[in-house]
Amino acid sequence: MYSVMPWIASIAFFMQTLDASILITSLPKMADSLNESPLNLETAVICYSLTLAIFIPVSGFVSDRFGTRNIFIFSLGIFSLGSFCSAVSVSLFWLDVSRVIQGIGGAMMVPVSRLVLLKIFDKKQLLTALNRAGLLGL
């Protein structure tokens, strides 16, 4: 379990980083499929970014209250649900709602995965674990 957790955290970091930037490259195609101007899709970017900014500080409190492992699994599920809903969105409104759901999951996924590493590794192993966790996200 200990040797696998840095890689799980790395995948979570990669997913969140990819999601934060992938919308920009796919914006014109998405706008076309939603029959919207690409400029109107700025709300999808803003919804995700603002949700991250709001929920990252909350993630530490929530993980202390409900358990780090539980919140990490919950955040993966919420992020995946938001990703699926974004993929099947039929309007800009539903894309924005889906991006908020993704933002909630993404905001908790990365900080809580780091908390998991802090809790399961001792000081000698922590630097190696954190390096592995950040590997895929770069």
In the chain the domains, ranked by start, together with CATH numbers, are 5-135 (1.20.1250.20)
Tell me the per-residue pLDDT of 52-67, one tens digit each, with 9 for 90 and over.
Answer: 999 999 998 999 999 9
Cα dihedral angle (131, 103, 41, 96), rounded to 10 degrees?
Answer: 160
Angle between helices 5-33 and 42-66 (to 10 degrees): 150
With CA atoms as reference, report the closest residue to 33 among 121, 94, 118: 94
Handedness of CA 115, 116, 120, 123 (dihedral sign): negative
Judge whether residue 51 has pLDDT over 80.
Answer: yes
Integer angstrom CA distances of residue 117 from 7, 10, 126, 136 = 11, 11, 7, 16
Token readout for 100 is 């908020």
Mean per-residue pLDDT, 114-135? 82
Handedness of CA 42, 44, 50, 53 (dihedral sign): negative
Instruction: Report which of residues 27 and 75 the model is more confident about.
Output: 75
Mean per-residue pLDDT, 20-46? 88
Q: Report pTM.
A: 0.85
**Cβ atoms of residues 117 and 126 within 8 Å:** yes
Mean per-residue pLDDT, 120-132? 82
Instruction: Report which of residues 22 and 35 the model is more confident about.
Output: 35
